[in-house]
Amino acid sequence: MATHDTNMRLKFPILAIALEILIIILYALFVVYDDGSPEHGHSSSSNHTEQNNVSLYPMFQDVHVMIFIGFGFLMTFLKRYSFSSVGFNLLLAGFGLQWGLLMQGIWHGVPIKVNISRMINADFSTATVLISFGAVLGKTSPVQLLIMTILEITTFAINEYVVVDIFEARDVGASMTIHAFGAYFGLSAARMLYRPGLRNGHEKEGSVYHSDVFAMIGTVFLWMFWPSFNSAIADPGKAQLTAITNTYFSLAACVLTAYAISSLVDHRGKLDMVHIQNATLAGGVAVGTCADMNIEPFGAMIIGSLAGIISTLGFKFLSPILASTLGIQDTCGVHNLHGMPGILGGVAGIVAVALGKANGSASYQLAALGSSLGFAVVGGAITGFLMRLPLWGQPPDQNCFDDAIYWEVPEEEEENEECLAHDHSKNKAEA
């Protein structure tokens, strides 16, 4: 296979090493263990004792699994991009958590004290990047993706400060600050990286049977551990239990509607793996802002049901329009899984606060949603513009969705070699 001259020969390793050296210097200067003494300023973890921080560890690990297995395998659905999906996911999240802990901590004064809460938040910050990665999957080089990681996590930390510390808005499961933010950041970047040459698709932009099964590993781990995602930073006790319960029910309800609509919109009634892999998760996204509010189990189910419907309809009808009319080529359909359900979550939060289901201000909730969308669209556009600079080695259209440009890829399946060999030998015999 003819391989394009990418940025992998020197730029990628030099950038990766340089970033790690930078990180080590910054950590040597600014990051210490949490010794349990009070921190300067506001900190969501200041009311945890050291023991409590260890008690959060199982929740941290659930979130960790979502980030590394969940997002990583969810994107393995492409027939020849599974190495990049799970591999770059590991790279970006491994770098992103180091960067995110710095960016999020810096607002609360130095030295930054590391504890389990901070590690959960660092994992959260990488989630925004992994969502955006889904929008540009298959069309961006590792160098471009590392640049996106730096810029997106920095922007995320600013927006999070605005939403949490200035507006004091509620968003325990981060429908707005992670999901809507990550989706529209990625879509905005994808718009800047529009490829007319892929208007009519690409032969490798599709799945094979077993790549779809790999993707279900990601789906199911995300689905199972989403209650941990939405409750990990909730106040201990009743609020945390409420967040677990609401997310559990929202996801369960979402499954039913996602399956129903997936079948309903196909003219033969067949289910579509793309919908099942993604839209079954929309309930977790959409209940995020309200997760720790007293919306009652049936309220969570209504939110989850709507999310499953909106998300599946988005995959079927909206994504093709976004691509053809707006030039937004959204590989994984993050608009349907994170974008619209994230906005639904933000709106549900406004309604719930307005109805008195929780303390808070409906107008500040609205401001938080606006801030998240604004930072996402502007930040994503600037980031996408910078990613377009030719020196980052963006792959040409014909090498998109193909691991072979970045990875040593093993020879084809043995059986098939035999098959071809058989064929070839016969060709010779006939010649």
30-59 positions binding its own copies, by CB under 8 A: 31-34, 50-51, 53-54, 57-59
Interface with its own copies (CB under 8 A), residue from 10, 325, 391, 428: 10
Residues in 73-112 that interact with its own copies by CB under 8 A: 73, 76, 79-80, 82-83, 86-87, 90-91, 94-95, 97-98
Q: Select the span of 245-253, 335-343, 350-358, 376-384 touching its own copies (CB under 8 A).
A: 245-253
The answer to whether the CB of 295 falls within 8 A of the CB of 352 is yes
Give the residue with the Cβ less far from its own copies, 68 or 364.
68
Tell me the two tokens of residue 154.
């920095």
Nearest to 288 by CA among 204, 382, 172: 172
Give the residue with the Cβ less far from its own copies, 286 or 368.
286
Tell me the two tokens of residue 174.
């981060």
Which residues fall within 8 angstroms of residue 23, CB to CB, at 6 or more apart?
A: 95, 98, 99, 102
Interface with its own copies (CB under 8 A), residue from 46, 65, 351, 370: 65
Residues in 136-155 that interact with its own copies by CB under 8 A: 142
As measured in angstroms, the least distance from the Cβ of 121 to its own copies is: 13
How many chain residues are in contact with its own copies, going by CB under 8 A? 128
Nearest to 115 by CA among 52, 164, 161: 52
Q: Assess 165 for contact with its own copies (CB under 8 A).
A: no
Residues in 338-367 that interact with its own copies by CB under 8 A: none
The β-bridge partners of 113 are 32
Rounded to whole angstroms, the Cα distance separating 225 from 247 reads 10
Q: What is the DSSP letter of 318?
A: I
Nearest to 176 by CA among 162, 195, 189, 190: 162
Interface with its own copies (CB under 8 A), residue from 74, 75, 103, 119: 119
Rounded to whole angstroms, the Cα distance separating 72 from 63 reads 13
The answer to whether the CB of 96 falls within 8 A of the CB of 129 is yes
As measured in angstroms, the least distance from the Cβ of 370 to its own copies is: 31
Helical (H) or strand (E) element with 150: helix 142-160
As measured in angstroms, the least distance from the Cβ of 175 to its own copies is: 20
Nearest to 403 by CA among 136, 82, 3: 82
Residues in 14-33 that interact with its own copies by CB under 8 A: 14, 16-17, 19-20, 23-25, 27-28, 31-33
Q: Select the span of 130-138, 171-179, 202-210, 284-292 touching its own copies (CB under 8 A).
A: 202-210
How many Å from the N-terminal Cα to the C-terminal Cα in the chain? 26
As measured in angstroms, the least distance from the Cβ of 287 to its own copies is: 14
The neighbour count for residue 384, using CB atoms within 10 Å, is 26
Residues in 224-243 that interact with its own copies by CB under 8 A: 224-225, 228, 236-238, 240-242
Residues in 391-420 that interact with its own copies by CB under 8 A: 406-416, 418-420
